[in-house]
Amino acid sequence: MVKVTYVQPDGTEVEVEGNEGDSVMATAIANDVDGIVAECGGSMMCATCHCYVNEAWTDRTGERHEGEEDMLECAAAEVRDTSRLSCQIVLTPDLDGLRVQVPEAQV
Ligand code: FES
């Protein structure tokens, strides 16, 4: 299991256990985490799974995937250097303890 903490816009933290190989988006949906909408189900067609990766983790989550940058332009909330589509971050043991922030809005 890979522990992921989702920080809500009001600072509330939700810590869940995800499965290796699942995305940060799918883990949020499976655990009813507020603020991750994921309208397209993970096919990188919506940007409603936008999240901000905690800066301590950006090296481990890696670069944005091809096409992710373009899709982020459709994000409802401000796009920052740490912005990612959570459906494109796949949980690995290396990401145990990952922290991501949920943006103010997804639509
Ligand atoms: S779920 Fe639609 S882009 Fe991630």
Spatial contact of 36 and 106, defined as CB atoms under 8 Å apart: yes
Nearest residue (by CA) to ligand 1, atom 3, is: 44
Torsion sign over Cα 8, 71, 26, 32: positive
Residue to substitute in 49, 68, 83, 102 for testing ligand 1 pocket (most ligand atoms within 8 angstroms of CB): 49
Q: How far is the CA of 97 from the centre of ligand 1 (A)?
A: 22
Spatial contact of 100 and 16, defined as CB atoms under 8 Å apart: no
Q: Give the start-to-end residue ranges of the domains of the chain.
A: 2-101
Query: Is the minimum distance from the CB of 76 to ligand 1 under 6 angstroms?
Result: no
Domain 2-101 has CATH 3.10.20.30: yes
Q: Output the CA–CA distances (angstroms, integers) from residue 46 to 27, 33, 35, in the order listed.
A: 17, 18, 14
Average pLDDT over residues 44-68: 96
**The pLDDT of residue 105:** 95
**The pLDDT of residue 103:** 98
**The pLDDT of residue 82:** 98
Average pLDDT over residues 9-25: 98
Average pLDDT over residues 42-60: 97
Average pLDDT over residues 72-90: 97
Residue among 11, 16, 9, 44 nearest 31 (CA): 16
